[in-house]
Chains A and B, each alone.
Chain A
Amino acid sequence: MVSVKNLCKNYGNFQALADLSFDIGKGDIVAFLGPNGAGKTTTMRIITGFMAPTSGDVMIGGYDAFEEPKKVKAMTGYLPEIPPLYPDLTVYEYLSFVAEIKGLRGGDIRKKAMEVMEQTDLIERKNTIIGLLSKGFRQRVGIAQSIVNSPRLIIMDEPTVGLDPVQVVEIRNLIKTLAKNEDRTVVLSTHILAEAEEICEKAIIIHNGRAVALDTIEHLKRKEKMELSLTVKVRKNSGELVKKLEKTAGVLSISDENSVLTIKTSKDIREDIAGIIVRDGHGLLEMTNNEISLEDIFIGLVR
C-alpha cells in the first residue's frame, strides 16, 4: 500500500530524514515509533503530499504521490498532530466541507458526514460550533474528517496526545474499530509504546531519520527474548551462591545488589535456579521473570 524509497528531507542544514525506506502492506496497522524529533511528522507530511521530500520516492496504492497527487490524496485520510478544524463552523458544516473537498458530490456528502458522525459518536454535537467543543471532542471531529472519504489509507499523527486518560482509551478503541473496517491500512505515529502495542500489529521504529526496525511487534519482542532475565530476591546472600549459580548451565551473567540478583540466562532455567537456592537454604523470597517490553527494544535500538 505504501512504499517509501530512499527518502531524504533537509531543512536548511538540518537533515530530518536520511535515506528512509520502508514498505507497508495492504490492511496493515502500523505504529510509527520514534523519539521526539526522529522525523515521524516529516515522514507523514511527505506521504500525505503536504510537502515534497528533498529526494526519494513515495508510492501509494501504486501511484507516485508527487506525479499523481490527486489520485493519491483521494484515497488517503490524514489526521495531523493538531486536528485541522475551522472553529467557526458547526461539526456538520465542517464535515460536509471536508467531504466535498475530498471529492464527494451530491447526496453522498450528507450521507457520509452523518455516517462518520455516528461512527465517532458525534451525532449529539452535530450542530455545535467546533470552537466550543472540548479537546476530546475536537480530536473526534479530527478523526471523523480523516475517514469521511472512506480512505484506503489513514495516517494519524499522535492521535491521543494531550487527552485525559478516559479520552485516550476512547480514542484508542475508536481507532481499533476503524482499523478493522473495510480492510484499511492505518499508520499512526506515537511515542507512547503501550499505545503501539495495544492498537498495532507492526511497528516501524525510526531514529535520526532512518528506519532502525520494521517488523511485527511480536517478532521484535521475540528477537530481544533470545536473552532472558530473572530477578531473584533471597534472604541470605553470600558470595557462594553467586559462584554456584554462575556455574549453572545457561546462566550468562549475574548482577548482585545486596539480596537482589539479576540473572541473565540463555534459556528458561527458572526451576534449576530455584532448586539451587532452596536446596542450599538461602531463603528464596521472590523470583520474577522480567518481561521484555517494547520499551526495552525501543531503548536498545535508539541508543
Chain B
Amino acid sequence: MTAILKKELRVYFTSWMGYMVMGVYLIMSVVLFHLYFLGARNTSDFSSFFSDMNTVSLFIIPVLSIRLLSEDKKLGTYELLLTSPVTPWEIVLGKFASVLIFAMIADTILLIYPLILMFFTTIEWGAVFSGYLGIIFSVMLFASIGMLASSLTDNFVVAALVSFLFILLFMIVSIFANSGDNPLSPFFREISYSNHYFQFASGLIKIRDVLYFVFGAFLFLYSSRTVIESRTWK
C-alpha cells in the first residue's frame, strides 16, 4: 500500500498536473480571501471562507480522483497492479490516501490566512478548525466517490460525470429532507450531504457528522475494492 501511495504522490509532484491543481485551488483561495477579508465585507469570520473553498474542492477532487484507476486502465498498468501480490484493498487505500494527503497539504496552506489576520484582528479559532475539518471530511467523501467512478470505467469523461452525479445526488436529497411533510424526510436528512457538512461550516463538530463522512467514504471505497476484485471471481 505504501508503495502505491508513494508513487501517486510522486506523480503529483513531478508532473504539471499536481501543481496545476494545487495552483488553481490556491488562486481561488486568494480571490476569496481578498473578497471576504480585505474587501467591502471586512469580517474576521472564517466559516463562509471555508465553505466556499469546500465548493471549489467539490469540482477539483473528482477531477483528481477519477484518474486514480481510469489512468491505470488506459496505460495498461492496471494489469501490472492486478498481477502483483497486492490486494485490491491495498490498491484502493493507497490511491485514496494519496488524494487525501494532497488535499490536506493544499488545505493546510489555507491556514496561512487566519495566521496573517491574527495580527490585525481576533480570530475565532474554533470556527477555523471546524471549517478546516469540514473540508477534509468532504474531500474524503468526494475522493471515495471519484474512486468508485474510476473503478467502473477507463473513460475520464464518463468517470467525471458519474462522480458529479453521485455528489449532486447527495446534495439534492436535502431538498426532500427539508420539505417537512414527507414521511421519508428524516431518512433523507440523514443521507443529505449538506445537512452534515453545514454543521462543520457553522462551527459544530459532532460525532454523528464525522461518522456520516467516515462511513460514506468507507462504503464507496469498499465498493471500489469489490469492483476490482470482481474480475477474479469465477
Contact = CB atoms under 8 A, between A and B. Distances in A.
A85 B78 CA distance: 10
Interface in A88-118: 88-89, 93, 97-98, 100-103
A49 interface: yes
Contact of A85 (B3, B11, B77, B87): B77
B79 A45 contact: yes
B81 A101 contact: yes
A49 B86 contact: no
Contacts of B4: 101
A131 to B, nearest CB: 10
B10 interface: yes
B231 interface: yes
B77 A74 contact: no
B83 A98 contact: no
B104 interface: no
Nearest to A84: B80
A76 B83 contact: yes
B232 A49 contact: yes
Contact of B80 (A55, A87, A98): A98
Contact of A89 (B10, B80, B83, B231): B10
A302 interface: no
B231 A102 contact: no
B7 interface: yes
A81 to B, nearest CB: 8
Contact of B232 (A54, A66, A82, A101): A66
A73 interface: yes
Give the one of B2, B3, B10 with max A CB within 10 A. Answer: B3
Interface string A247-290: 00000000000000000000000000000000000000000000
A276 to B, nearest CB: 61
Interface residues of B, number: 26
A80 interface: yes
A78 B7 contact: no
Contacts of A190: none
Contacts of A54: 234
Interface in A26-83: 45, 48-55, 66, 69-71, 73-74, 76, 78, 80, 82-83
Given A89-B10, A89-B14, A84 B75 contact: yes
A284 B80 CA distance: 60
The range of chain A's interface size is: 20 to 34
A101 B86 CA distance: 6
B76 interface: yes
A50 B229 CA distance: 10
A55 to B, nearest CB: 7
A86 B77 contact: yes
Contact of B11 (A52, A89, A103): A89
A52 B234 contact: yes
A145 B81 CA distance: 12
A85 B71 CA distance: 11
A53 B82 CA distance: 15
Nearest to A56: B234
Nearest to B2: A100
Nearest to A76: B83
Interface of A: 45, 48-55, 66, 69-71, 73-74, 76, 78, 80, 82-89, 93, 97-98, 100-103, 145
Closest 4 CB pairs of A and B: A100-B3, A84-B80, A82-B76, A73-B85
19 contacts: A49-B82, A51-B231, A52-B231, A54-B234, A73-B83, A76-B83, A78-B80, A85-B75, A86-B75, A88-B11, A88-B14, A89-B10, A89-B14, A93-B7, A93-B10, A101-B4, A101-B84, A101-B86, A103-B85
